[in-house]
Amino acid sequence: MTLKAVLFDVDGTLADTERDGHRVAFNLAFAEAGLDWNWDVALYGKLLAVTGGKERIKFFLQDFHRDFPKPADLDGFAANLHKTKTKFYTQLMADGAVPLRPGVERLIEELRAADIRLGIATTTTPANVTALLTHTLGEHSLDWFEVIAAGDIIPAKKPGADIYHWALGRMNLTFRDAVALEDSQNGVKSAVAAGLTTLVTYNDYTLEDDFTGAKAVLSDLGEPHKAIEQRRICPFNEPYVTLETLRNLLLV
Ligand code: XBP
Ligand code: MG
């Protein structure tokens, strides 16, 4: 098996967007809509059990705020709020609110230099991916990714495998050709169910997640000047993740 492509998750993997990006944007949207809801850091951690922002709003109402009078058109209500949330989120990205995680830019550069094909498989809204990439890697970075599989193109979001199937199909690849980079239990479930070799870089929100099926579970990708901090499952010795690491991981 030869590594042909790397598929990146976005939120939590490319950048720690959840706490200081999405959560903040949700709260701004609630305030703009005159709602007194506040998703604090701990509550948001619980809400992350459900992927997709609209789905998360409905999950909140159903499981955490039952007293709120149910809107007649719940889907429309959630979609409207979510639209405002996306507006705030993209503004936050434009303001540089969230940097890329360690090693992400370096690894992407190395992969590009070696003509490894790049794809994105995320549950977040396409506009959010555009905002994050253009404001961290630059405007041209969107072109580096052959496929950006995002948001509602797939109704059954992660942990379903559909988004990865969709991305692989578009790239005319099979699961044997690629490695997926993920950060969460839902993401790993999705990638592993698609048959993909999966490397996890966890974060504060996903520290305790179940990463069954992942081939490597690390705190971060590491950098030449700052080695990977913690290795939970690590079938390699390099101080930081490189193209060679990913090539070997596919063979483990
Ligand atoms: C993470 C998600 C998304 C974001 C919010 O996606 O579950 O729902 O939290 O984005 P991933 P939206 O880890 O797959 O990148 O509000 O646009 O859904
Ligand atoms: Mg993620």
Q: Which ligand is nearest to the CA of 185?
A: 2
> Closest ligand 1 atom to the C-alpha of 182?
13
Using 50, 70 and 90 to split pLDDT, how confident is the model at 149? very high
pLDDT in tens, 165-187: 999 999 999 999 999 999 999 99
pLDDT band at 142 (very low <50, low <70, confident <90, very high): very high
Ligand whose nearest atom lies closest to the CA of 202: 2
Please say if the pLDDT value at position 128 is more than 90. yes
Say what the alpha-carbon torsion angle 127, 130, 132, 137 is, to the nearest 10 degrees: 180
pTM score above 0.85: yes
Q: Is the pLDDT of residue 2 over 90?
A: yes
- Are 10 and 184 spatial neighbours (Cβ–Cβ below 8 Å)? no
Ligand 1 atom 13: the closest Cα is on which residue? 11
For the cut 90, the answer to whether the pLDDT of residue 155 exceeds it is: no
The region that residue 45 occupies, defined by phi over 0 for left and psi between -120 and 50 for alpha, beta otherwise, is alpha
Test site for ligand 1: of 39, 124, 153, 166, most ligand atoms within 8 A of the Cβ: 124
Residue 158 scores a pLDDT above 90: yes
What per-residue confidence (pLDDT) applies to 212?
A: 98
Q: The tokens of 88 are what? A: 């705030």
DSSP H or E run through 126: helix 126-136
78 falls in which pLDDT band (50, 70, 90)? very high
Q: What is the CB < 6 Å shell around ligand 1?
A: 9-12, 18, 22, 51-53, 122-125, 128, 158, 184, 187
Distance 199 CA to ligand 1 centre (A): 19
Residue 45's alpha-carbon distances to 84, 142, 172, 209, in angstroms, are 21, 29, 36, 11
Measured distance CA(9)–CA(147) in Å, rounded: 12
As annotated, the active-site residues are 9, 11
Reported confidence tier of residue 45, pLDDT bands at 50, 70, 90: very high
For residue 235, pLDDT beyond 90: yes
Instruction: Provide the sign of the torsion angle of the four alpha carbons 59, 8, 10, 45, taken in this order.
Output: positive
**pLDDT tens, residue by residue, 94-114:** 999 999 999 999 999 999 999
**DSSP class of 161:** S
